[in-house]
Amino acid sequence: MTAKERANLLRWDGSRRGFYEVYFLKLNDRASRTACWLRYTLLSPRPDVGPPRAELWGIFFDAADPAGHFALKRSLPVDRLRWDSNRFRLSLGEAELRQTGCAGEIADAERGHRLAWGLSFDSASEALFHWPLEQMYTLALPKTKMVSPHPDARFTGWIQADGRRIELAGAPGQQTHMWGSQHGLRWCWGHCDAFDEDPEAVWEGLDAQVPLGPWASPHLKLFFLRFQGRWHKFNRPRMLLRNRSQYELGRWSFEAFNQELRLAGTIECELSDLLGVTYQDPDGRLLWCNNSKLATAHLEVSTPDGRALGRLTSQRACALEFVDRHIAPEVPVWI
């Protein structure tokens, strides 16, 4: 088993309560100007909240027509979830997720939407661990762990959205694994590996507040950039507070430094390209994710003393989401 596959193995032990686990995949097909976000999840809440369940989520985005955006979810008893312990493979009902492939279908007869997919994917990079210290994956804090076994995935296969079949050949995207006992309190997150200037470049960022007992942490700001063939990480403990970040619904600007690079950027999306979905913590509390896969990215890379090294741009092919403990009235909640 490869290290990337071990990073994907299910952490749930089959009985633990007060726990959640998520596998998500996202891709942008620039030829059809569409994007897709898929989510294989389990929620094993506290016994007083409800029974464990497994869920399959999907969002489809059409850059040519915002009226074509839609989101779906299918919930199943957790005994419909099956997984292997000596390799990464899980099935959720008839849907399946493997180390380099996935398939599934979600339909909503009442709304008249259906999303189906059959995809294979892989990536050139090693798994990307977002937290800087190994202990952050073994100790109780932070309450959410995250790793991207495929931070620069390329997808081949097909998706079918409301009868429209889209063939994919090397569409850029990502596959990430998350687990823990509680979501962050609020966050802004983004990812892109569809840059005009360098198809091998990858950017990811997170600005999050996490629970520290009854208190909220300061905003923790971490960034990653693969630039000119090398990974640059802006996630050391001192950087989590030193990095700069400011966001509001639809727009995020940031600046990060390490010994080699200065990274500055802006990620923006139209409010019409955001769809709302509802998350639940294992203790029953709710939070709302306002999600887009059609954001535009502008990044400037320079040396710490200000010498320009390059620019990266992506037009409506960047992931961007804003999550908080209240509903944003400007964004329709689909799930």
Torsion region of 305: left, alpha or beta (phi above 0 gives left; psi -120 to 50 gives alpha) = alpha
Amino acid at 188: C
Could you read off the pLDDT of 183-227 as tens digits, one per residue? 999 999 999 999 999 999 999 999 999 988 888 999 999 999 999
- What is the pLDDT at residue 217? 93
- What is the pLDDT at residue 285? 97
Q: Could you give the dihedral angle defined by the CA atoms of residues 77, 148, 135 and 285, in that order, rounded to the nearest 10 degrees?
A: -40
Residue with tokens 């890379």: 301
Could you read off the pLDDT of 300-310 as tens digits, one per residue? 999 999 999 99
DSSP track, 152-221 = EEEEEEEEEETTEEEEEEEEEEEEEEEEESS--SEEEEEEE---SS-TT-EEEEEEEE-EETTEEPPPEE
**Alpha helix segments (H runs only) across the chain:** 3-8, 237-242
Could you read off the pLDDT of 22-33 as tens digits, one per residue? 999 999 999 999
- What is the pLDDT at residue 213? 83
Residue with tokens 């059809």: 32
Token pair, residue 158, equals: 């097909």
Interval 42-67 mean pLDDT: 97
Interval 303-325 mean pLDDT: 97
Token pair, residue 69, equals: 């955006």
Could you read off the pLDDT of 95-143 as tens digits, one per residue? 999 999 999 999 999 999 999 999 999 999 999 999 999 999 999 989 9
Q: Helix, strand or coil for residue 26?
A: strand
Half-sphere exposure of 66 (CA within 13 A, CB side): 13
Q: Cα–Cα–Cα angle for 217, 221, 226, nearest 5°? A: 155
Burial status of residue 257 (CB atoms within 10 A of its CB: 0-12, 13-18, 19 or more):
middle
In this structure, the number of other CB atoms found within 10 A of the CB of residue 178 comes to: 18
Q: Helix, strand or coil for residue 309?
A: strand
pTM, entire model: 0.96
- What is the pLDDT at residue 126? 94
- What is the pLDDT at residue 212? 85
